[in-house]
Amino acid sequence: MHTSTVGILGGGTMGAGIAQVAAMHGWMVELREVDEPTARRAVDSIVRRLDQLAEKGRLTPEERDDAESRLCLARCPDCLGDCELIIEAIVERLDVKAAAFRELLPSLRPDAILATNTSSLSVTTLGEAVGQPQRLVGMHFFNPAPLMKLVEVIAGERSDAAAVDRVAQIAQQWGKVVARASDSPGFIVNHVARPYYLEAFRILEAGHAAVEEIDAAMRDVGGFRMGPLELADLIGMDINTAAARSVWEQLGRPALLEPSALQERIVAAGHLGRKAKRGCYDYAVEPPAPAIEVERRPIELTGAERDLVARIAQRGAVKPGSDLQNYIFARILVCIFAQAAMACRRGVAQREDIDTAMRYGVNYPRGPFEWMRLIGPDLCDQWLAALAASSGSDRYRLAPLAEVAG
Ligand code: NAI
């Protein structure tokens, strides 16, 4: 049987994870790093994970051995000469990524596809910097790559359609679910997910609810696996704010995505989340304790607002909660819907791909469009209008969801 070979540039968090996925699905892997000891460490880390899977019975001893035998160190550019696909997962800098590809070009098969795992750079611009825009495709995995099901496949403006299709097919062969996106800031997930964090910080900053109340509402009422504030701590507050700022700037500063001043103050104080042992929570104690104090200004809902959020929770929540919980859930959720609608209008992706991306890339219990239809887009529009009226902010004055709900 003909065995396919993938070259992977970078054996850090993402590169090692992607290499593991490919090797476990029968592909030969040529892993290239900055030097041999670093490459060796990356392979060792993959082999340790294969051992753990074998110990848990998720891989048979033969499958473990086969996967290990497919991992090779690419000591020179020519080692990548057989590869059908090269995926780069190196530092997030366009010049470094472009130089890494350019160095390899003379050694590669003329039909080898080049793929980038970038989270924030333009696939089109990188393809042009490499000098081969038709061969370059975005192949965006999520961390940890062996566990997260989603791969966003991104067509650059000049990507060859056959190359894009082939990348999608390979991702599926590797057991992944594919969402296709155009080359736009944050692609799907890192774009549509922004209000999950931003609205949570706005509710916190306004003093309407405490850190743990916001997280609990989204978990218990919304059915999300993690609340937005604990998730921002896990991602890293610096990474999360940088993504927020970059998407906001690149999209022309839409009011809905305006970065949170409170979150930026948290970053400036060095409270970067779990990795710094402090963010929205203090991780020096067990269980972690809320670490952000704000002056409480309880929300006063009118009868009509209370009724709206109760109806939204009735239809869309796993379990409707208190007025405050329903308010938190309904407010954060419709802002995600609004962002999903904006992404759809801008041609970032189709509704089905946006739903797939949010379910498999960040484990949302439902895709935004499916959820919007379940609740009723008219009801969501009424709630956005109520938020616009009560806040006096343009942020919630948005094009009707009913037009794009599908
Ligand atoms: P990392 O810092 O863990 O790993 C990068 C690796 O690339 C390092 O081991 C480094 O030695 C190696 N490297 C640097 N220059 C190289 C070169 N010229 N040739 C070969 N190897 C080289 O970084 P991480 O987190 O794995 O990110 C890599 C890429 O994946 C970035 O573009 C990032 O935006 C993207 N990404 C990261 C995610 C995450 O959650 N960490 C999720 C999805 C995408």
Residues of the chain with CATH 3.40.50.720: 5-183
Answer yes or no: 403 catalytic: no
Q: How far apart are CA 247 and CA 257, in angstroms?
A: 8
pTM of the predicted model, to two decimals? 0.96
Distances (CA, A) of 373 to 70, 260, 343, 367, 403: 46, 29, 17, 10, 12
The answer to whether 118 touches 144, Cβ cutoff 8 Å, is no
Give the lowest-confidence range in 70-74, 95-99, 388-392.
Answer: 388-392
Asked if residue 1 has pLDDT above 60, the reply is no
CATH of domain 191-403: 1.10.1040.50
Q: Give pLDDT, residue 8.
A: 98
Answer yes or no: 190 catalytic: yes
Q: Give pLDDT, residue 3.
A: 85
The residue to mutate among 35, 36, 46, 91, having the most atoms of ligand 1 within 8 angstroms of its beta carbon, is: 91
Q: How far apart are CA 318 and CA 136, in angstroms?
A: 42
Asked if residue 314 has pLDDT above 70, the reply is yes
Asked if residue 340 has pLDDT above 80, the reply is yes
In the chain, what are the helix, strand and coil shares in percent, each to the nearest 5?
55, 10, 35
One-letter amino acid identity for 319? K
Catalytic choice (33, 152, 199, 370): 152
Q: Give pLDDT, residue 406.
A: 87
Q: Give pLDDT, residue 2.
A: 66
Q: Is the CB of 151 under 6 A from ligand 1?
A: no
Q: Predicted confidence band at 97 (pLDDT cuts at 50, 70, 90)?
A: very high
Q: Is the CB of 38 under 6 A from ligand 1?
A: yes
- Per DSSP, the residues of 180-223 read EEES-TTTTHHHHTHHHHHHHHHHHHTTSS-HHHHHHIIIIIT-
The class (CATH top level) of 5-183 is alpha beta
Residue nearest ligand 1's atom 8 by CA? 12
Q: At what angle do helices 94-104 and 123-130 cross, to 10 degrees?
A: 40
Quick one: average pLDDT of 196-220? 98
In angstroms, what is the span from residue 92 Cα to ligand 1's centroid?
A: 7
In angstroms, what is the span from residue 88 Cα to ligand 1's centroid?
A: 8
Q: How far apart are CA 42 and CA 233, in angstroms?
A: 26
Which residues fall within 8 angstroms of residue 259, CB to CB, at 6 or more apart? 198, 241, 244, 245, 248
Q: What is the pLDDT of residues 6-16, one digit of tens each?
A: 999 999 999 99
Quick one: average pLDDT of 233-254? 95
The answer to whether 218 touches 319, Cβ cutoff 8 Å, is no
Number of separate helices (H) and strands (E) present in the chain: 17, 10
Q: What is the pLDDT of residues 322-337, one digit of tens each?
A: 999 999 999 999 999 9
Backbone angles phi, psi at 41, to 5 degrees: -65, -40
Asked if residue 368 has pLDDT above 90, the reply is yes
In angstroms, what is the span from residue 101 Cα to ligand 1's centroid?
A: 14
The residue to mutate among 33, 90, 103, having the most atoms of ligand 1 within 8 angstroms of its beta carbon, is: 90
Q: What is the pLDDT of residues 118-156, one digit of tens each?
A: 999 999 999 999 999 999 999 999 999 999 999 999 999
Task: Say what percent of the chain tops pLDDT 90.
Answer: 98
Q: Tokens 């800098």 map to which residue?
A: 93
Q: Give pLDDT, residue 249.
A: 96
Answer yes or no: 152 catalytic: yes
| Cis before 144 (ω within 30) | yes
> What's the mean pLDDT when you consider all of the chain?
97
Residues of the chain with CATH 1.10.1040.50: 191-403
Q: Predicted confidence band at 74 (pLDDT cuts at 50, 70, 90)?
A: very high
Q: Is the CB of 33 under 6 A from ligand 1?
A: yes
Q: Predicted confidence band at 22 (pLDDT cuts at 50, 70, 90)?
A: very high
Q: Give pLDDT, residue 76.
A: 94
